């Protein structure tokens, strides 16, 4: 059972091959509520430059591209399978130069300093080996005052393992407080937590913070 869980965590954490593409298809449907929730929280403006870290099948990118006709939606994901899927989903906007999706690690973003107005990530931070390094990178590419929105299923909703631990070494859950502490250390402030009160949408849970000037 432990081996199977490790395999599934691995596929969610970095989808690969045919199974990865199949999981990516499932993810787009499964995560649609929290993707739409997060996109709405971003309050995208027509000229915004927005970055997604860990875009998976690229559903949120597609939604944002519809709402940002004169800006740019960029994204990174370190899974080749997800890059392929998300590029296919967003092919028209990529051809128009409005969407730019790259294969890259969250901790090494291939963008210049202060390029983006907003950044976000959904169900991805659990898999980042060094979340603080990645958050500092996101802070670097955000303009001063830029918004970061992190959407997660909070740790309290995961349920502990039988030995009282949480998650696995490959997939670590966080509470809202954990994210605020990490974001503060990475140079963010003015935090707000948005949580959907409907129990069936427990993953509509977002910590928002602003890059210090
Ligand atoms: C569970 S999926 C979520 C995908 C999408 N955000 C969604 O809501 O459906 C996690 C994604 O984060 C990506 N990811 C995990 N760790 C990463 C890292 N260190 N750098 C870049 N992408 C990462 C994975 O490849 C995967 O596509």
Sequence spans of domains, the chain: 2-211
Closest atom of ligand 1 relative to the 151 alpha carbon: 8
Residue among 31, 124, 137, 158 whose CB has most ligand 1 atoms within 8 A, to mutate: 124
CA dist 172 and 165 (Å) reads 10
Pocket of ligand 1 (CB under 6 A): 12-15, 27, 31, 35, 54-57, 76-79, 82, 105-106, 122-124, 127-128
Read off the pLDDT of residues 51-77 as tens digits, 9 standing for 90 and up: 999 999 999 999 999 999 999 999 999
For the cut 80, the answer to whether the pLDDT of residue 140 exceeds it is yes
Q: To which CATH superfamily is domain 2-211 assigned?
A: Vaccinia Virus protein VP39 (3.40.50.150)
Question: How many Cα atoms occupy the beta-carbon half-sphere of 67 within 13 Å?
Answer: 16
Q: Are residues 193 and 181 in contact, defined by beta-carbon separation less than 8 angstroms?
A: no
21 CB burial (10 A radius; 0-12, 13-18, 19+): middle
pTM value is 0.94
Average pLDDT of the segment spanning 80-98: 97
Q: How far is the CA of 105 from the centre of ligand 1 (A)?
A: 10
Average pLDDT over residues 176-184: 98
pLDDT of residue 2 exceeding 70, the answer is: no
What is the Å distance from ligand 1's center to 143 Cα? 23
Kindly report the average pLDDT of the chain as a whole number.
93
Closest approach atom of ligand 1 to CA 106 = 20
Residue 8 has pLDDT above 80, yes or no: no
Q: How far apart are CA 31 and CA 41, in angstroms?
A: 16
Residue 83 near residue 61, CB atoms below 8 Å: no
Share of the chain above pLDDT 90, in %: 79
pLDDT in tens, 19-36: 777 777 777 888 999 999
Structure tokens at 32: 């649609």
User: Could you report how far apart the first and last alpha carbons of the chain are, in Å?
Assistant: 48
**In angstroms, rounded to a whole number, what is the distance separating the alpha carbons of residues 131 and 155?**
16
């Amino acid at each position: 059972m432990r081996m199977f869980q490790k395999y599934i965590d691995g596929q969610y954490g970095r989808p690969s091959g045919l199974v990865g593409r199949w999981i990516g298809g499932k993810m787009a449907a499964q995560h649609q509520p929290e993707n739409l929730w997060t996109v709405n929280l971003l309050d995208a403006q027509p000229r915004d430059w927005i970055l997604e870290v860990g875009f998976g099948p690229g559903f949120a990118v597609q939604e944002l591209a519809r709402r940002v006709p004169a800006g740019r939606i960029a994204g990174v994901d370190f899974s080749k399978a997800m890059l392929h899927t998300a590029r296919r989903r967003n092919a028209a906007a990529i051809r128009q130069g409005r969407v730019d999706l790259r294969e890259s690690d969250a901790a090494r973003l291939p963008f210049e300093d202060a390029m983006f107005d907003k950044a976000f990530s959904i169900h991805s931070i659990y898999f980042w080996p060094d979340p603080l390094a990645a958050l500092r990178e996101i802070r670097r590419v955000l303009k001063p005052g830029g918004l970061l929105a992190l959407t997660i299923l909070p740790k309290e909703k995961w349920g502990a393992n039988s030995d009282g631990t949480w998650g696995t070494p490959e997939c670590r859950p966080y509470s809202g407080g954990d994210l605020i502490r990490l974001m503060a250390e990475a140079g963010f402030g003015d935090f707000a937590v948005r949580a959907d009160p409907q129990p069936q949408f427990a993953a509509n849970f977002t910590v928002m913070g602003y890059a210090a000037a």
